[in-house]
Amino acid sequence: MRILILAACLAASQAFALDKSAVEKLAFGEFDERSAAIAALVAEGDDKAADFLQAVAEGEVQTLEQKGVRRVLVVRGGQAADAITGEKVDPVPEGAEDVVANNRLRKEIEGALAALKLLSPQRETRLAAAKELAGGADSAMLPLVRKALGKETDAQIKSLLELTAASMEMKGGSKQERIAAIRRLGQASSPNSRTLLSEAVTDADEDIKHEAQKALREVQGRLAWGERAGLLFAGVSLGSILLLAALGLAITYGLMGVINMAHGELIMIGAYTTYVVQVLFRKTPYFDWYLLAAVPASFVVSAAVGMLLERVVIRWLYGRPLETLLATWGISLMLIQSVRTIFGAQNVQVENPDFMSGGIQAFQGVVFPWSRIWIIVFAALVLVSMFLLLNKTRLGLFIRSVTQNRDMASCVGVPTGRVDMWAFGLGSGIAGLAGSALSQLGNVGPDLGQGYIVDSFMVVVFGGVGQLAGTVYAALTLGFANKFLESVSGAVIAKIVVLVFIIFFIQRRPQGLFAVKGRAVEA
């Protein structure tokens, strides 16, 4: 500390030149002295100091001892200059020795240079430097951080610097200073201050320990809110994905009673369609808008594949659910293999458009990615349009009538066969939409659908077959349950627990959350 104060005084008295003792210590001294000298130079915080430190790091500094007088020179491009006064020394003196900077010293200098950037006029540079320092900095940088803090006007950088300063004071200063720093850390809500405080909790000093425990409780309380919000968001996000994956199945299985094991592959086809559209758009200036084309395209392609399957295979198997299960499983194998043949067995990369990348930082350390936010919105839109389609259009009326009483519907002139085809196409198309959404979250590969088939059946069965509302509740419930358990026990266990829970649930309540009432149950 004393050295620093001394250095600061000296720096004030020699406004035009570098601090003599610091420069000499850096050039001639032992390691500890050199380290202190770097801190002193940084405290000056001007360009000349930065320049000199840069020179040391790059090995351009030489020392000269003539007649008992020691001089420090910066030799650059065949020209020598006195490091302290800055005056030219011509010609370059003979017999000068290099100042060797070892790795440790060089590292310290790098840190110091980063700290000096705190005083840069550019906001971005300062912000980057502040973030770097907040990640963990040497307490020797404290005077500089204080200086920067005095000048700083930007609120974000200022709060970062305050945190950094507090963490440095907490490590180094006197007892009062440390306690004050701990109190300040207690006001901040960042994961960093939690880490720092949990170190301080183990301090030998009782007062500090007590103070740190109090501050830690406060920080944890605030962070917990952020984590809860993050968990909530993750739950809604997973729920929306499950909902998208299961909505199509809610029509093909829930309403039509077709056990479509190829449902996952229809999702996969939607994802690949998105990939193809994305590749087509890559060369054009409209790349950011490719989803506008990809979403309808994936609906149409998956719906077309679904309608083809219904006409060729599935319609012969109505009323034989177990056979349908096997045949659609066969279809799924063939679809997987065809995609492998066409696109290769490796995953393909689907790039997000600009508005899907990045995220909102809602709390310290909790980021809501835009892609997930948009998918939640998208799932809601799909749900609403499906509801309107089923309840407000003629096709929807036909679909409902055929599911409720096929013979009667046929009697009054509903073309049941064609309605089956359209309904199956609708379910498959929605699976395609789900694929399009999933392509924005992760890699797209031939096995994409396999991961969702068990999940989507669980959602539909859990919600109650034939119930759209049930599917929505089931998807959200399972999403939350999964994410909540995940935070407690890890992802795999969470998944297993949820599956086992559903198995038991179905045994207690085979009709699902929302039962179809009346005689339809036995059919």
Partner 1 sequence: MSRLYGTKGWVLLGIFASILFIVFPVLSLQVSDQNSFHLSQYWVTLVGKIMCYAIVAIAMDLIWGYTGILSLGHGLFFALGGYSMGMYLMRQIGREGQYQSDLPDFMVFLDWKEYPWHWWNTEHFWYAALLVVLVPGLLALVFGFFAFRSRVRGVYFSIITQALTFAAMLAFFRNAMGFGGNNGFTDFKRVLGLPITTPETRMILFAATGIVLIGTLLLARWIVTSKFGRVLTAIRDAETRVAFCGYNTVHYKIAIFTLSAVICGVAGALYVPQVGIINPSEMSPANSIEIAIWVAVGGRGTLAGAILGAGVVNGAKSFFTQAFPEYWLYALGLIFILVTLFLPRGMVGALQRQRREAAR
Q: Which residues would be at the binding site for partner 1 (CB under 8 A)? A: 259, 261, 313, 316-317, 321-327, 329-334, 336-338, 340-341, 450, 453-454, 457-458, 461, 492-493, 495-496, 499-500, 502-504, 506-508, 510
Q: Which two tokens stand for residue 146?
A: 């204080």
Q: Which residues contact 304 (CB under 8 A, 6 or more apart)?
A: 425
Q: Which two tokens stand for residue 488?
A: 């407690």
Q: Please report how close the Cβ of residue 11 comes to partner 1 at its closest, in angstroms.
A: 55
Exposure pattern of 203-236 as b/e (b: 16+ CB <10 Å)? beeeebeebbeebbebbeebbeebeeebbebbbb
User: In terms of CB distance, is 105 or 460 closer to partner 1?
Assistant: 460
**Cα separation, 20 vs 473, whole angstroms:** 74
Inter-axis angle of helices 175-187 and 155-172, to 10 degrees? 140
User: In terms of CB distance, is 415 or 510 closer to partner 1?
Assistant: 510
User: In terms of CB distance, is 180 or 325 closer to partner 1?
Assistant: 325
| C-beta separation of 152 from 81 below 8 A | no
Looking at residue 98, what DSSP letter applies?
E
- Between CA 473 and CA 396, with CA 298 as vertex, the angle to 5 degrees is 55
Q: Please report how close the Cβ of residue 181 comes to partner 1 at its closest, in angstroms.
A: 40
User: In terms of CB distance, is 48 or 340 closer to partner 1?
Assistant: 340
Helix (H) or strand (E) run with residue 483 in it: helix 468-489
Q: Please report how close the Cβ of residue 509 comes to partner 1 at its closest, in angstroms.
A: 8
**Alpha-carbon dihedral angle through residues 514, 518, 519, 523, given to the nearest 10 degrees:** -10
Q: Please report how close the Cβ of residue 280 comes to partner 1 at its closest, in angstroms.
A: 27
Q: Please report how close the Cβ of residue 139 comes to partner 1 at its closest, in angstroms.
A: 38
User: In terms of CB distance, is 372 or 483 closer to partner 1?
Assistant: 483
**Cα separation, 56 vs 45, whole angstroms:** 16
User: In terms of CB distance, is 298 or 332 closer to partner 1?
Assistant: 332
User: In terms of CB distance, is 22 or 448 closer to partner 1?
Assistant: 448
Q: Please report how close the Cβ of residue 333 comes to partner 1 at its closest, in angstroms.
A: 4
User: In terms of CB distance, is 380 or 491 closer to partner 1?
Assistant: 491
Q: Please report how close the Cβ of residue 234 comes to partner 1 at its closest, in angstroms.
A: 19
User: In terms of CB distance, is 195 or 337 closer to partner 1?
Assistant: 337
Q: Which residue is listed with tokens 């059946």? A: 457
Helix (H) or strand (E) run with residue 88 in it: strand 88-89
User: In terms of CB distance, is 204 or 492 closer to partner 1?
Assistant: 492
**Cα separation, 343 vs 430, whole angstroms:** 23
Q: Please report how close the Cβ of residue 70 comes to partner 1 at its closest, in angstroms.
A: 57
Helix (H) or strand (E) run with residue 66 in it: strand 61-66
Q: Please report how close the Cβ of residue 341 comes to partner 1 at its closest, in angstroms.
A: 7
- Residue ranges in 250-365 assigned as alpha helix (H): 263-282, 290-312, 321-343
Beta-ladder partners of 360: 368
Q: Map residue 94 onto helix, strand or coil.
A: coil
Q: Please report how close the Cβ of residue 230 comes to partner 1 at its closest, in angstroms.
A: 24
User: In terms of CB distance, is 7 or 461 closer to partner 1?
Assistant: 461
- Residue ranges in 117-262 assigned as alpha helix (H): 123-134, 142-151, 155-172, 175-187, 191-200, 206-249
Helix (H) or strand (E) run with residue 360 in it: strand 359-363
Q: Please report how close the Cβ of residue 504 comes to partner 1 at its closest, in angstroms.
A: 7
Q: Which residues contact 442 (CB under 8 A, 6 or more apart)?
A: none
